[in-house]
Amino acid sequence: DTAVSQTPKYLVTQMGNDKSIKCEQNLGHDTMYWYKQDSKKFLKIMFSYNNKELIINETVPNRFSPKSPDKAHLNLHINSLELGDSAVYFCASSQVAPAKNIQYFGAGTRLSVL
Amino acid sequence: DAKTTQPTSMDCAEGRAANLPCNHSTISGNEYVYWYRQIHSQGPQYIIHGLKNNETNEMASLIITEDRKSSTLILPHATLRDTAVYYCIVRVAAYNQGGKLIFGQGTELSVKP
């Protein structure tokens, strides 16, 4: 039973389209995250939500809009896709408790914008 | 969060111990040292973390120097499946910090037969 699951695993789309990536965790965690890994393999935080409330927004273009319908889900919607959005997007979750802030990552969504 | 420095790459023979160093000379007293790894095409995986004492779990051991300015991750008997990029991350573990992990370039460990 996958702890953090993302769908789809692969996403190929044209520039200008709008797409969504879904993430669900069954670990009972309070906090969820989106990270982006670009072609140079650097992993960078994009957003963090705690109990459906946005707590980190790392200067991501406003074409990216996260939505958390409940604390087990954090979806990422991207409007007007650009070539530079091509990357692997990872969802993660963790408990809030400080010493237990261990993040569990999903398998990633490979987005290719053509 | 303090910055970390790691070697870009390392090799290790299968079955031998892999010792991965990390420098974090500007670490603050309330910052933990975390290690994650990313096996090719997978999501990052938590390995271990510690504050000042050495830690051991089923995956690895973490040795933190007394001044806390550096640490070493030890994989006691490396296997081919341990080939991955290993990230050393220093961060405050606090309720209001948002929990973000700042990943550097990491160390690419190649375990060879």
Instruction: Please give the average per-residue pLDDT across B77-93, as a whole number.
Output: 92
Q: Which residue has the tokens 């090719």?
A: B40
* CB neighbour class for A74 (10 Å; exposed up to 12, middle 13-18, buried from 19): buried
- Looking at residue A41, its pLDDT comes to 84
Instruction: Name the more confident of B92 and B14.
Output: B14
pLDDT at res. B54: 94
Residue A97 banded pLDDT, cuts 50, 70, 90: low
**Residue % of chain B over a pLDDT of 90:** 78
Q: Is pLDDT of A1 > 80?
A: no
Among A2, A4, A13, A1, which Cα is nearest to A111's?
A13
CA-CA distances (angstroms) from residue B55 to A96, A106, B50, B102? 21, 26, 6, 22
User: What is the reported pLDDT for A51?
Assistant: 82
In tens, the pLDDT along A73-86 reads: 999 999 999 999 99
Stretch B46-72: mean pLDDT: 95
Measure CB to CB from residue B93 to each of A45, A58, A99 and give the nearest one.
A99
Query: Of A47-51, A92-96, B33-37, which has the strongest mean pLDDT?
Result: B33-37
Mean pLDDT of chain B: 91
A44, A48, A107 member nearest B43 (Cβ):
A107
The number of CA neighbours under 13 Å toward the Cβ of A8 is 9
pLDDT at A52 over 90: no
Provide the shortest C-alpha distance from residue B113 to chain A (in Å): 26
What's the pLDDT score for residue B2? 63
End-to-end CA distance of chain B: 37
Predicted pLDDT at B64: 96
Residue type at B75 in one-letter notation: L
Is B98's pLDDT higher than 80?
A: no
| Residue A8: cis peptide before it, omega within 30 degrees of 0 | yes
Is the pLDDT at A44 greater than 70? The verdict is: yes
> What's the pLDDT score for residue B94?
62
- Could you tell me which residues of chain A have a Cβ less than 8 Å from any Cβ in chain B? 4, 31, 33, 35, 41-45, 48, 50, 55-56, 58, 90, 92, 94, 96-99, 101-108
Sequence letter at residue B93: A
Measure the CA–CA gap between B107 and B112, rounded to whole angstroms.
15
Average per-residue pLDDT in chain A?
91
Most A CBs within 10 Å, among B101, B105, B108, to test the A interface = B101
Q: What is the pLDDT of residue B19?
A: 98
In DSSP terms, A50 is beta-bridged to A31, A53
